[in-house]
Amino acid sequence: MHKLTQVRPERLKKSAAAVALDTSEQLPPDTKQAFSQKTLEKRARAKFITNIVAFPLSKLKSPLEKAYKLTERCSSQLTETPGKLVGLYCGCRWCLVCSRIRTARLITGYMPAIEKMGEKWFLTLSRPNVKAGELEGEVQYYLRTASLIQRHLREKRKLKYSSLRKIECTYNAQADTYHPHFHFIFDSFQAADLFLQEWLERNPTAKLDKGNQLKKADNNSCMELFKYFTKVVSKSKSKTAAGATRSDYQIHLAALDTMFVALRAVRTFQPCGVIKAVSEEIEPEQALESGRAEVNFHKWIGHDWVNETTEQLLTGYVPAAGIQDIANHLVYPAGLPVKVLPELMPFYVDKSTGELVPNDQVQSVRHDDGFAKVYPLPPADRQRPGCTLLATPEMEIQAHKFPEQLLLTVPLTSQTQLTLFSA
């Protein structure tokens, strides 16, 4: 693990670890800047969503507690030099920011070899679901059995083939069980079919169904191999009063932690044959193209990075209502109080009336100078007694003036208080 700190220009000159990603060198200047801005907005969205989940995960009594807290600080500060934005990243698998970087690297590293395969076969292997206490041992059984079958095919059957194996895990909320499983890409039908038969023979409880099947693949279906390794969302369906079917989803924090712990020391991808292994590690220091010739320092506050000097937003990203609603779909373990992320929700205040802008109207006022943007910030040690700025039926906001900023305290409920500031 590494310590997240702000990266200063003098360090950047000496650093050889900064890796430029999402390269757009071949684009014209205007297009290149638009491309970089779009990439930054996607990264802001990924960090906003990650923080919603990582904050309550860090409150669980888990072996990964420190790693979850590290994720909260992932890319929280960015140093901008001409053409680049550099920050320090957590490298954790559950971090959407780092997962985007990792996925891009894995696709770049593995897809050329997959595309060169004369034929492609997609193999799925699994066994019946298990309970939480059995998951870690089940994952090790999967890895051990796959290794034995591979050795059997290559040494006893004398088969020459190449393959790429991925291990994934999903959670069944209704049954409270876990489903680890393998996905393979083979360049040989014979090798893939024999692998399937060996798996079924060694696992009598495994059935020849969609959980254990072999089918023809192409480059597009192979790309599916690089999606999630643990499914974060559990979908459910219910009936409305009118009889219509309504789809919903839940994010079970305890189940996520169980899967992350069981897979923490396991390689997600394992190549075989002529395919070379690609590192799944993310360098702590990463560089992202900015498309701008500026030197600035940006700090993550709420849903965007804020320039420490001008207090302007870096990307202008505003979470859609559906993204903001993710926190309402978190399912907490029994006995664990709801943990509200201090920097979760942004606010807009009408400068003339002092009224809060409803979330569904934020998009129309975000560029209007008549409205003050309020960013979340928890500076408990800097609060002072203040005066009432405004009052609504839902909440009261207290103002605390400082030389360079205005602190606002918003009691959201009787149990939770959110501290905010507005430049």
* Same domain assignment for residues 221 and 134: yes
User: Which pair of tokens denotes residue 286?
Assistant: 């990463």
* Same domain assignment for residues 207 and 301: no
* Same domain assignment for residues 357 and 310: no
pLDDT digits (tens, 9 = 90+) for 390-413: 333 333 344 433 333 344 444 433
Task: Give me the pLDDT at residue 221, please.
Answer: 82
* Same domain assignment for residues 351 and 327: no
Q: Are 303 and 317 in contact (CB under 8 A)?
A: yes
Q: Are 175 and 131 in contact (CB under 8 A)?
A: no
pLDDT digits (tens, 9 = 90+) for 73-132: 999 999 998 888 899 999 999 999 999 999 999 999 999 999 999 999 999 999 999 999
Beta strands per DSSP E along 173-254: 177-186, 213-216, 234-239, 245-252
Alpha-carbon gap, residue 19 to 73, rounded angstroms: 19
Helix 253-262, helix 29-57: angle, nearest 10? 100
* Same domain assignment for residues 16 and 82: yes
Task: Look at the chain and report how many structural domains it folds into.
Answer: 3
The answer to whether position 210 is within a domain reads yes
Q: Are 75 and 89 in contact (CB under 8 A)?
A: yes
* Same domain assignment for residues 214 and 134: yes
Does the pLDDT value for residue 168 go beyond 70?
A: yes
Alpha-carbon gap, residue 362 to 405, rounded angstroms: 22
pTM, full prediction: 0.72
Q: What's the mean pLDDT in 358-365? A: 69
Domain span at residue 176? Answer: 111-272
